[in-house]
Structure 1
């Protein structure tokens, strides 16, 4: 039986094929996420019960009115937790929540790029509608009927949920990957927070990708000049101090940026 495929054309006019995630895998991922959220919600409520009853029995509900303000804040906090869980993880974790990662699926833009802040916000804001009248009924119906298995949030935000692409066989190591390996560079060596990296968009990725692809071909003098020029553009945006850094240290930092950004922006063909 042939797997259902969807064609995606990137802004670079490259045509890619992905398998859209169907109702089964998306429902299973959601179930895992809801279990995690359920555990967190229960822990918060239990802790709050003990806090508001002063250590008395958690069943002393008549004492709750004494701390009505605290409970009001807690209710707002629980709403933020349950909505923000999906928004934060999908935006900062490459379109994946814990459930999506375990099921091997992810959210992406219809143009093949990672989700933007706006699209992630819109698709998760519309979860409120997709969950109507209960238990994501409307969302499940939409996913089942839509040709690309989209719920309302995906349609409005221009996103699609797909299965992760798996590379069959051993992929040939690129020249830049060999250079990074020989220098002993690891993504963990980059002292930049994940949320800070989100300040770099497609233009910055294009610059760093071009730099990495041309790295081994450039004469030393030109490479040093390009490294300094690129560092002048990117480092201030990330709060990286350039003062006192050698050309080799600049190169290492730029190559680490390439490794970190590649996971989000590069698509295996």
Structure 2
């Protein structure tokens, strides 16, 4: 997997063997925890239904209830992730999916490994080990994801921005000369603004310092994107002359 040294938001870029690039936005611990709680309540509701049904069967019902609880805990996520394109109901509700590190759809081996190792991630309590592991790597992976070679990412619902896309903001020359690295950073921000959260775009725009002095929020973001459009126009003009 190849990723930019300085990534905006949680976006990572995967280079495929066909020389194509796929942009994926890695899910953070909060969104993953929200999906887990949704799945937990679904499993709990099904388990309660099993308990009610087991009470009417007698002693045999206890065995069926334990078997159902085991299946819910271990096979629920595996079956859904394999047959529902990497999405349990909780992940689908939160706009998440599981893929391999190279962007391929999740298969049986990956789903089995990442979900079996949830027992290790849970240690010593409440997925503490998995949470610590997710903070120690740039892709938010718990131990199960590291072993299985998987990523939990957001499902892309918006088309990615292209260099030729007209955002209707116009262009604006920078107030002073910019270094090459500064120009690249602004162009990258302009191209990817459509894939970032509103809070993140405002944060990045505010960090631009003198370029957005006296502005905040949407106004700062729009000025930075206008400067990016100006720089993109210059790059296109240079390319056409060559």
Length-normalised TM-score, structure 2 = 0.59
Tell me, yes or no, if the aligned pair for 2:11 and 2:24 is still in contact at 8 Å.
yes
Aligned equivalent of 1:27, options 22, 25, 33: 33
Of structures 1 and 2, the one with the larger relative CO (CA 8 A, separation 6+) is: 1
Q: Does structure 2 retain, via aligned residues, the 8 Å contact 1:95–1:115?
A: yes
More helix by share: 1
Q: Which residue of 2 aligns with 1:160?
A: 151
User: Following the alignment from structure 2 to structure 1, what is the Cα–Cα distance between the partners of residues 92 and 111?
Assistant: 17
Q: Deviations over 1:194-239 (max 9, x none)?
A: xxxxxxxxxxxxxxxxxxxxxxxxxxxxxxxxxxxxxxxxxxxxxx
Equivalent in the alignment of 1:218: none
Question: What is the CA–CA distance in structure 2 between the aligned matches of 1:46 and 1:138, rounded to whole Å?
Answer: 35
Structure 1 spans left out of the alignment, 5+ residues: 53-66, 170-269
The change in CA–CA distance for 1:140 and 1:74 in structure 2 (over 3 A counts) is same
Q: Contact 2:10–2:27 at 8 Å: present in 1 too?
A: no
Aligned: 1:100 with 2:108: no
C-alpha RMSD of matched pairs (Å): 2.3
Separation (CA, whole Å) in 1 of partners of 2:67 and 2:19: 45
Pick the aligned partner of 1:111 from 95, 102, 110: 102
Q: Which residue, 2, 6, 9 being the options, matches 1:3? A: 9
3-state secondary structure, aligned to 1:161: strand
Alpha-carbon distance in structure 2 between the residues aligned to 1:73 and 1:40 = 13
Please list every run of 5 or more consecutive structure 2 residues that lacks an aligned counterpart in the other structure: 1-6, 161-242
2:126 equivalent in structure 1: 135
2:220 alignment partner in structure 1: none
Could you say what secondary structure the match of 2:99 adopts?
A: strand
Equivalent pair of 1:109/1:160 in contact (CA under 8 Å):
yes
TM-score, normalised to structure 1's length? Answer: 0.54
1:59-95 deviation digits (Å, cap 9, x = unpaired) = xxxxxxxx2x542343133111221110000000000
Paired with 2:56 and 2:126, the residues of 1 have a C-alpha distance of: 30
1:142 is displaced (CA, Å) by 1.8
Q: Tell me which residue corresponds to 1:49.
A: 55
Match of 1:81 in 2: 72
Distance 1:146 1:17 in 2: 18
Instruction: Give the deviation of 1:140 after TM superposition.
Output: 2.1
